[in-house]
Amino acid sequence: MSAAKHDFAKAAAKALDDRESRAILDRAIFHIDVLRQRSVKAMPDFAERRARAVAVREKTLARLPELLETLEARVTAAGGRVHYAEDAAQAAATVTDILTAAGAKLVVKGKSMVSEEIGLNDALAAAGIEAVETDLGEYIIQLAGQRPSHILAPALHVSKEQVSALFQEKLGRTSADIPEMTRIARDSLREKFLAADAGITGCNIAVARTGTVTVLENEGNIRFSASCPPVHVALMTLEKVVETLADAAAILDILPPSATGQTLPVHLSFFTGARRDGERDGPREMHLVVVDNGRSAVLADPVLRDILRCIRCGACLNVCPVYQAVGGHAYGSVYPGPMGSVLSSVLAGGEGDPRQPFACTHCAACAGACPAGIDHPALLQELRRRLAATEPDPAARAFAALARHPWLFDGLAAVARTVDPRLTKTAALAPDSPVGRFLRGRRFPGLARPFARRFRKMGQGGKS
Amino acid sequence: MNACAKMAILGRLRAAVEGVGPAGFPRPAPAQGLRRAGAGAADFAVFAGALTALGPTFELARTPDEARAAVAGAVARHEVRTAVAWDHPDLAAVGAVAVIEGAGASVLSPDDLPGRACPSLAAVDMGITGVAYALGATGSLILTAGPSMPRSAALVPRLHLALVARSRLLPDLPALCDRLAGGPMPSAVNCVTGVSSTGDIEFVYVRGVHGPLAVHVIGLDWL
Amino acid sequence: MDAFLFIPCLVAHVMPQVGEATARVLARAGVTPRLPDGQTCCGQFAYKRGLPEAVRPLARRFVEIFEDAPAVVGPSGSCVAMVRRYPELFDADDPFRRRAGRVAAKTYELGEYLVDVLGCPDLGARLPLRATLHASCQTTRVLGVGGHTERLLAGVADLILTPLPHPERCCGFGGGFSVDYPELSQAILDKKIEDILAADVAAVIAAEPSCLLNIGSALARRGAAVRTLHLAEVLAGEAA
């Protein structure tokens, strides 16, 4: 798609230089993860809950085509319409067409990462439709002309001073006080909710058997977007479907604790089709757009398909040392962090840095936190293997080849010990070599007389 | 609408799940039963404890008279001049509409609402509703939409007053899912737990974002 | 009873004192350490560069070297974790898959061996020192034996442990990661170093040589008066 691929290393270096954003990010991420850990620890049966949720995700993926057809039938029976979209462009066009046909000029949007993925706001703007983000974080991001930096808390990186200045500039009203700023946003957005011609939301879980779109939120903006305007468009990616309400309950058992440390969010809403006969409110038109964008192809991948278990809780972002250091924007893709590093590599369009899977320390904190049992390091390892097959990587290959010959391996170590024991000469001579790069900011302790020779002198053990 | 896309997507998915890959489908995992709903009847003490920890206020009415006094008290405390009420048996059991009108406020019924209900309620002070269920473990109010139960009543006014009959208490969310699975799904089911909140600016917790700024619950102990 | 020493290349050529301490601790526990010839690198570096095929010959060598060992004990969580992955490098019908499986099953990280196999014997270790523990990712999360390290350290006389605020936070090494993304690796490492310096200790302990190299070389660069000690060195009481 785009000509120049995103360079994560460069973007990360830039993010590291932004000390102010890093400090806010640090505090915020630490805070959100403390909430998660506290909540998980308070649930003595969390391991069981996780096992149940994983089982539900697995049995669901195994029956995906059938469940999507059931979902479509049930949504249609409840007065809604289901649309399928192959990729981002088709999804954005589908939504634009729906809104244009309904004569919508003003649209309120609940937070939806799928909407970001399909570039919906740009498409709507091009069609002359005003789209207002109504999640407070997304609203701030939209006013600032930025993109979200976290899949759950999009404005995690913005300071209250920045928000205050932004409100003054864009809304003509502001405050230094966070509750007061929240009130200003409430007033401003309420006008939009009441006047909007359509509401767009995401979908955390779709229940096939009942044709229900389930959404979770704390602010109430999604409930407004799906309840007040005459048209409701819900966006979902195809793996979000489960079969029954009981299956949905199994996911709801682990999603809020892992996401925000809550047992339940303030608003858990189940929307089934359009307004029924005799009802005084609710959307007269309800549309569900099912987006593929590369996911159906991943389902056939025996290793990477595990990423389709993801329930978008964001826990893996919060515990990732790389995400903690640079934040979401450096990834140059809609989904950052460990889940994003995998998902971006498999989505159609291939956003972000293709070498992203290498930007991981293999610390496995993500896998430990994931409530859906995804082993992100294993998936990233598989992606590395596929990428490495197309790269020369002479240093790693040479090192591995050398290690096949102990006399050569030990001999070269002996030579290095004599010539450049602290590797300072190598680093000075070749600052961009692996050794040179490692030694930026580090002092190598030095090569030593090898252990085998010392061991023989210890006398207490024996040579085998 | 886009039949081509549907065929292509479902075709790929079918090929994936029907193809006999090396790992097969689904991944071998120990069988897991779904979580059973919490046992035992939830009581108002548990419910009120969970509810009030999250912002809403609660009072228990042992008799219809106590309930009427509680409704009148809420109307006075929150300076309610206009209200919208569900047409709901639990409100009728209390005679709630008459109490509100008796306290000097005007009350809209679902039939009074225009085709676009939400904007018409922008200046209304209070929405009074019953609930389909309430969850003891989490203090959640379960609101279901219907012809006499507009969704906007509990969403647009600044105060939400909910009457919860004791017989509507369920232990927890799995119990709710069991109940909902037993009948046709209403067009909207809202499980509301606390007062709307946000932490989007520097993770500072703020209550009262969209929807009601205050939620007051009256437990109807005899019903 | 004998155990074969699995000495990672980093220990062999950069931290031989860790190998010596490992041998000493095993001897103190009543196990005779044996050192088979021909060990080089377990292949972890190439593996994490996405080159499992380059690791396969190294895995075969490892299996041949250690096949006859009653037990294989190594002072590195990450290298032991690599050996545990050896079986999956071979096809189902390759006899090396089963052979690698047998070797992997008897290969232990030092703390894991002392606790799970030897029942946490009293090693009589004494180390009068204020120190803190860096819970290495590979030992704690990947092998799941972080508790073993803590239990062994709790038995060391006169050792005063001050916990880090986030003991399990990654030090930012990640093998090739530190070479591919040096600034990012440094930034993650800086947080770890700040935590360690704030703990006001004389030493930082870990059961993973690569973390110790990473942390130690940053401490050295800053001229900080904090030493790095491997679990084996603490248990050997060598610093006393």
Q: Is the CB of residue C14 less than 8 Å away from at least one CB of chain A?
A: yes
Taken as a whole, chain B contains a residue count of 223
Query: Whole domain around residue C181: which residue ranges?
Result: 122-235
CA A139 to centroid of chain Cα atoms: 19
Instruction: Determine how many CB atoms are found less than 10 A away from the CB of residue C1.
Output: 11
- Please report, rounded to a whole number, the percentage of residues in chain A having pLDDT higher than 90: 83
Q: Are residues C43 and C96 in the same domain?
A: yes
Q: Are residues C173 and C152 in the same domain?
A: yes
Q: Are residues A173 and A148 in the same domain?
A: yes
Question: The domain spanning residue C110 has which CATH number?
Answer: 3.40.50
* Closest CA relative to residue A211, chosen from A346, A44, A70: A70
Q: Are residues C104 and C143 in the same domain?
A: no
Facing B155 at nearest CB: one of A83, A227, A246: A227
Facing B177 at nearest CB: one of A86, A183, A245: A245
| pLDDT reading at A388 higher than 70 | yes
Indicate the number of domains in chain C: 2
Q: Are residues C81 and C11 in the same domain?
A: yes
Q: Is the CB of residue C142 less than 8 Å away from at least one CB of chain A?
A: yes
Facing A442 at nearest CB: one of C57, C184, C221: C221
* Contact yes or no for C27 and A461 at CB 8 A: yes
Enumerate residues 56 to 85 of chain C having a beta carbon within 8 A of any beta carbon in chain A: 57-58, 61, 69
- The verdict on residue C240 lying in a domain is no
* Contact yes or no for C45 and A400 at CB 8 A: yes
Q: Are residues C92 and C169 in the same domain?
A: no
CA distance A359 to C181: 7
- The verdict on residue C206 lying in a domain is yes
| pLDDT number for residue B25 | 63
- The verdict on residue A308 lying in a domain is no
Q: Is the CB of residue C28 less than 8 Å away from at least one CB of chain A?
A: no
Indicate the average pLDDT of chain A.
93
> At a CB cut-off of 8 Å and minimum separation 6, what does A54 contact?
A309, A372, A373, B29, B32
Q: Are residues C85 and C129 in the same domain?
A: no
> Which residues in chain C touch residue A365, judged by CB atoms under 8 angstroms apart?
137, 141, 168, 170
Of A293, A327, A354, the domain-final residue: A293
* Contact yes or no for B146 and A279 at CB 8 A: yes
Q: Are residues A223 and A149 in the same domain?
A: yes
| pLDDT reading at A137 higher than 70 | yes
Query: Whole domain around residue A435: which residue ranges?
Result: 394-458
* A230: nearest CA partner in chain B: B116
Q: Are residues A278 and A375 in the same domain?
A: no
Top pLDDT among A5 and B132 is at: B132
Three-state secondary structure readout of chain C: CEEEECCCHHHHHCCHHHHHHHHHHHHHCCCEEEECCCCCCCCHHHHHCCCHHHHHHHHHHHHHHHCCCCCEEECCHHHHHHHHHHHHHCCCCCHHHHHHHHHHHCEEEHHHHHHHHCCCCCCCCEEEEEEEECCCHHHHHHCCCHHHHHHHHHCCEEEEECCCCCCCCCCCCCCHHHHHCHHHHHHHHHHHHHHHHHCCCCEEEECCHHHHHHHHHHHHHHCCCCEEEEHHHHHCCCCC
Q: Is the CB of residue A272 less than 8 Å away from at least one CB of chain B?
A: yes
Indicate the number of domains in chain A: 3
* Closest CA relative to residue A135, chosen from A115, A119, A117: A115
ipTM of the complex: 0.95
Give me the sign of the Cα torsion angle A402, A407, A408, A409.
Answer: positive
- Please state which of the ranges A4-8, A261-265, A366-370, B30-34 shows the lowest mean pLDDT: B30-34
Find residue A448's DSSP bridge partners.
none
- Please state which of the ranges A107-121, B20-34, C42-56 shows the lowest mean pLDDT: B20-34
Indicate the average pLDDT of chain B.
91
Q: Is the CB of residue B198 less than 8 Å away from at least one CB of chain A?
A: yes
| pLDDT number for residue C240 | 40
The angle, 0 to 180 degrees and rounded to 10, between the axes of the packed helices A337-346 and A376-388 is: 40
* Contact yes or no for A58 and B26 at CB 8 A: yes
Q: Are residues A67 and A212 in the same domain?
A: yes
Fold of B39-220: Rossmann fold (3.40.50)
Q: What is the pLDDT of residues A182-193, one digit of tens each?
A: 999 999 999 999
Q: What is the pLDDT of residues C93-112, one digit of tens each?
A: 999 999 999 999 999 999 99
Q: Are residues A4 and A132 in the same domain?
A: no
Q: Are residues A259 and A345 in the same domain?
A: no
Query: If you average pLDDT over residues C228-237, what whole number do you get?
Result: 96
* B144: nearest CA partner in chain A: A270
* C135: nearest CA partner in chain A: A363
Buried b (16+ CB within 10 A) or exposed e, A296-309: bbbbebebbbbbbb
Of C93, C116, C139, the domain-final residue: C116
Indicate the average pLDDT of chain C.
95
Query: If you average pLDDT over residues C114-124, what whole number do you get?
Result: 94
| pLDDT reading at A378 higher than 70 | yes
Q: Are residues A356 and A231 in the same domain?
A: no
Q: How far is CA C192 from CA A285, A397, B98, C145, C215, in A?
A: 54, 31, 66, 21, 8
CA distance A71 to C212: 54
Q: Are residues A187 and A240 in the same domain?
A: yes
Q: Are residues C85 and C143 in the same domain?
A: no
Test the B interface: residue of A279, A287, A308 with most B CBs within 10 Å: A279
